Each structure stands twice: as C-alpha cells, then as structure tokens.
C-alpha cells in the first residue's frame, strides 16, 4: 500500500471518528437538571466540539499524525500509541481532553451516547 493511500485511509478514519461524534448527536437525550439535554442543545454542543477537534488537529500535525497512525492499528496497539503520545506530550493531551470533555458531560448527564460505539474506546483514551 502506498504512503499516500495509507494517509488517505487514516484521514478517512479520523474524519469518521470526528464526524461520527456529530452523527451521534442525533440520538434523543433524556432530561437532566445540570445540563441542557434538549436535542438542539446536544446537537449544538456536538457540532462545536467537532469543529474545535478538527481545528485543533489541523493546527497540531503531530497530534493528527498520531491519531491517523492509531486509526490504522489494531485497538490494543492504537491505545498504546495514543497513551505514549499523551505521556510525552502532556499539554497537547490536556488541550485535546479539554476539547472533548463537553461530550463526556453530555453522555454522563444527559444519558445520551454522543460517540458512536465503535469509537467509544478512542474517546475513552482521551477522557480517561
């Protein structure tokens, strides 16, 4: 497989992860007193996080490269790749975790899954 093809596949996988987050916002959430769990609020939050995540990855090519590499690896190896990068780049890890944290709040407080099941493990790598 050529390097260009590998990169296109990896970009598609990362795009699916970030895009999948947006699609998951279509699920109707349950009510919560702490967070606005209306479908419109969930959709808006997911769209904002998706936009911020894409912008962050575009502005941080090494972080984007790690995610592209991980997207092509078996899950256990991908988790190790992400963890190793987080250990050696704690500020970038903290930045990306802060971007994703509103999704964790939506999931826990609204009882809605905003990350597709096939990407939940990757999301959990960042949120912990």
Q: What distance in Å separates the CA atoms of residue 88 and residue 5, rounded to the nearest whole number?
A: 28
- Arithmetic mean of pLDDT over the chain: 76
Where exactly are the structural domains of the chain? 3-25+38-127
**Is the pTM higher than 0.85?**
no
DSSP state, residue 64: H
Q: Are 10 and 78 in contact (CB under 8 A)?
A: no
Other Cβ atoms within 10 Å of 3 Cβ, number: 7
Reference 123, options 110, 28, 102, 109; nearest CA is 102
**Per-residue pLDDT reduced to its tens digit, 95-127:** 988 998 898 888 888 888 887 776 777 777 777
* 3-state SS class at 1: coil
Q: Supply the pLDDT for residue 87.
A: 92
Residue 26, φ and ψ in degrees, nearest 5:
-75, -10
Mean pLDDT for the stretch of residues 28-41: 66
pLDDT at 30 over 60: no
């Amino acid at each position: 497989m050529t390097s260009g093809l590998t990169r296109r596949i990896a970009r598609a996988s990362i795009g699916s992860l970030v895009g999948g987050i947006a699609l998951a916002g279509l699920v109707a959430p349950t009510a919560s007193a702490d967070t606005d769990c209306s479908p419109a609020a969930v959709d808006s939050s997911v769209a904002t996080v998706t936009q911020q995540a894409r912008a962050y990855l575009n502005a941080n090519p090494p972080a984007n490269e790690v995610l592209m590499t991980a997207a092509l690896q078996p899950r256990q190896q991908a988790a190790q790749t992400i963890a190793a990068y987080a250990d050696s780049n704690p500020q970038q890890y903290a930045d990306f975790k802060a971007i994703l944290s509103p999704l964790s709040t939506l999931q826990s407080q609204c009882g809605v899954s905003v990350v597709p099941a096939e990407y939940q493990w990757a999301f959990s790598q960042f949120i912990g």
